[in-house]
Amino acid sequence: MAKKFTVKFLEGRKCIFCGSYGLYRLADKRVKCRKCRSMYSLNKLKRDLNILHYFTLELSANRTASELGVSYKTVRKRYMFFRERIAEYLDTNFRKLSGELEIDETYFGGKRKGKRGRGALNKIVVFGILERNGKVYTTVVPDVSAETLMAEIKAKTEKGSVFYTDDFKSYKSLKHYGKHSKIKKTKAYARGRTHINGIEGFWSFAKERFYKYHGIHKDNYYLYLKEMEFRFNNRNTDIFKKMFKIIYR
């Protein structure tokens, strides 16, 4: 079920961790690498690579457990491990965004109660920056104050970039950090190059995928969000191969 390039690993001819061919079998049926000294079970490796395959296809943990004849608890645990590694990878390999940048914040979560819009109750506040013709960066923030949002902008973008936002007051001081173009969405969604349609497109991309989970615990929202960031930024690449390298290399 996992891809063809994994055959040598699954047959125990090539080490999953260092790529060398110096493997030998142990009495407990595991294999050990002569070079990096890693020891692991080929049966467990096959199971984990198959779970990874279904994860990259965006199948639910329930569906994957049923297809592979593996417990839901096992699949769920591996799925969360994959998300943790994705978040670590994105953090370690982050570079500041520059050029034309779209900035926006939104709300994720269950059914909204009480106040709507900015400041809505019982929602997860999410902030994002999209580099046009590049990548998106996202994070969970405690609030949408100017102090919070500007701190994120200064930490994640190059000064002097061109920033596109709506007319939310928290972005008022952005003009001191770079060129700032605002769009008043109550009047129009775009005015020439001044729009935030790209980042709003990402919000739709993420929210559409979140619906299938039927609720995400607030403590895990960051990991699910980073998964969506990773998928979006690698939407034109082989996600399985990318994840294979992140996890095993």
- Per-block mean pLDDT, blocks of 10 residues, the chain (249 long): 86 96 94 96 97 96 96 97 98 97 90 52 88 96 97 97 96 96 78 92 93 84 97 95 94
Q: What is the pLDDT of residue 109?
A: 77
Q: What is the pLDDT of residue 9?
A: 96
How many residues in the chain?
249
Q: Where are the domains of the chain?
A: 4-93+239-248, 100-215
pTM reported for the whole predicted model: 0.90
Q: What is the pLDDT of residue 111?
A: 54
Q: What is the pLDDT of residue 238?
A: 95
Distance of alpha carbon 109 from alpha carbon 112, whole angstroms: 8
Q: What is the pLDDT of residue 211?
A: 83
Q: What is the pLDDT of residue 46?
A: 96
Q: What is the pLDDT of residue 117?
A: 54
Q: What is the pLDDT of residue 128?
A: 98
Q: What is the pLDDT of residue 216?
A: 86
Q: What is the pLDDT of residue 110?
A: 57
Topology of the domain covering 100-215: Nucleotidyltransferase; domain 5 (3.30.420)
Distance of alpha carbon 84 from alpha carbon 75, whole angstroms: 14
Q: Is there a contact between 216 and 117 (Cβ–Cβ < 8 Å)?
A: no
